Amino acid sequence: MFVSILQQGDFLIASIHAALDDSELMRFQKDVMAEIANHRAKGVIIDVAALDVLDSFGSWSLRNLVHMARLRGATTVIVGIQPEVAFSIVELGMELDVTTALDLENGLEYLESVTTGHRAGKSMLGVLGSHDT
Amino acid sequence: MLMSVPDDRRSDEEESVDEHRMLPELVAHLRQHRTELREDWARRIEASHLLHAMTPQEIGSETSSVYDNYVEVLETGSVDALQRYARDLSERIIPRGVETDEVVGIVLLLRDVLARSLFQKYQDDFALLNRVLDAYEPAANRIANTVAVSFVEERERIIREQQDAIRELSTPVLQVRERLLILPIIGVLDAQRATQLTDQLLRGIRIHRAKVVVVDITGVADIDTSVANHLVKTVDASRLMGASVIITGLSSDIAQTLVRIGVDLSKMNTIGDLQGGIEEAERQLGFRVIRPEQG
């Protein structure tokens, strides 16, 4: 599998290193959910920087994963979306109503600000949707 | 003088041999009467009101060069030198507003002046005149063609250069503070430029690690609905890359277009002018601009 799920304090960093097919994506989804439960993670970062294409199923399952993690109590942010991917997601008309950040560093910054609540950094970041106050 | 009427059955080979014999005679004639023919030509140019962007002295020197080049092409049959000269001439006169019809016009005038002089010289011998013209016409046509094509090519080259320059200049991405970019857009925002804008913007976010981007469209008068949609998509895509976009300086026409296509205004952050946009961006990034008290 071309994915890794690492623990970093209270957070999980799930990286996708190469394009995944549909079944691999489903498996990735299940693994992340299991790891959230195992580590009692408060936040998850999904790093897609290595992907230069993302089809509609891919973005749909990432969005679902973000919402599922939310239900399990972990704030999730997607980081490293490439310019081409960003525009194709919008071009396909997919509402990716999830929090996004430029890269891993910004993603961590964001998670720290929302989980400890001592920094009002949310407005600085790209936020689609307003369901994660 | 014993001359036969040109025979229709002459082969091509004979014709070309004939051409080789006629051309030197022709060239000698044109060299001999250079001064008067050139002056006649200059007078005709003036009478036709061509090249009014140039002074009489300039016309004088250019007509001499064109004349000599013209005769040289007739003599050698090679248009290379003429082509070079025509390019060079075009480069000099295009910036001064000389039009294609003027350039073609003066070459055709010269062709006419020379042909008339040939008519005059050989008027007593119709058969010989015919053969002279057989040699002269194709060469003269080739010269007119060469000059016109060179001129148009030079013109197109200039246009291409200008297009490249415009394209390069059209969407600058400027960093004004850490993680704050400005994209000033001036002129017509068509589909091609909008695509370029998106490209530059998304790449700029990545390169400069921008969090806030101010897109200033004060200099854009109006956009059509497809470009408006494209702009909204660009804002969404920037958000996916973790940057928020502030659009400033919307004209009332653009505002109307955006409302007409039913943009979700909660997703679009727009502010009246560039100053307000930068202030809002600084606020989002936590910058504060303080004027030092003057003691």
Does B160 lie in the same domain as B183? no
B4 within a domain of the structure (yes/no): no
Q: Is residue B129 part of a domain?
A: yes
* Minimal-distance CA residue of chain A relative to B287: A124
**Into how many domains does chain B fold?**
2
Residue among B159, B144, B151, B148 nearest B112 (CA)? B144
- Nearest-by-CA chain A residue for B180: A124
Q: What strand order describes the sheet that includes B174-177? A: B174-177, B180-186, B212-219, B244-248, B269-271
Query: What confidence score (pLDDT) does residue B38 get?
Result: 87
- Any idea what the CATH number is for the domain that residue B64 is in? 1.10.490
Residues 6+ apart with CB under 8 A from A37: A72
- B177: contact with A, CB 8 A cutoff: no
Q: Is B7 domain-assigned?
A: no
Q: CB of A54 within 8 Å of any CB in chain B?
A: no
Instruction: Tell me the pTM.
Output: 0.61
- State whether residue A96 sits within 8 Å of chain B by CB: yes
Q: What is the CATH number of the domain that holds B277?
A: 3.30.750.24
Q: What is the DSSP letter of A127?
A: B
Cα distances (Å, whole numbers) of residue B229 to B86, B190, B233 = 48, 12, 6
Q: Do B37 and B148 belong together in one domain?
A: yes
Nearest by CB to residue B240, choosing from A106, A124, A126, is A126
- Dihedral class, residue B68 (left if φ above 0, else alpha if ψ from -120 to 50, else beta): alpha
pLDDT digits (tens, 9 = 90+) for B73-124: 888 878 888 888 888 888 888 888 888 888 888 888 888 888 888 888 888 8
Q: Measure the N-to-C terminal CA separation of chain A; round to a whole number of Å.
A: 34
Contact criterion met (CB < 8 Å) for B240 and A86: yes
pLDDT tens-digit map of B237-265:
999 999 999 999 988 888 888 888 887 77
Q: Residue B179 is part of which domain span? A: 174-285
- How far apart, in whole angstroms, are the C-alpha atoms of residue B1 and residue B69? 33
Q: Domain for residue B271, yes or no?
A: yes
Q: Is B283 on the interface with A (CB under 8 A)?
A: no
Residue type, B28: A
CATH of the domain at A74: 3.30.750.24
Do B66 and B104 share a domain, yes or no? yes
A87 touches chain B (CB under 8 A): yes
Domain containing residue A59: 3-114
| Amino acid B20: pLDDT | 66
Residue A75's nearest CA partner among A50, A118, A102, A109 is A109
pLDDT digits (tens, 9 = 90+) for A85-122: 998 888 887 777 889 999 999 999 999 998 875 444 44
Give A120's DSSP letter.
Answer: -
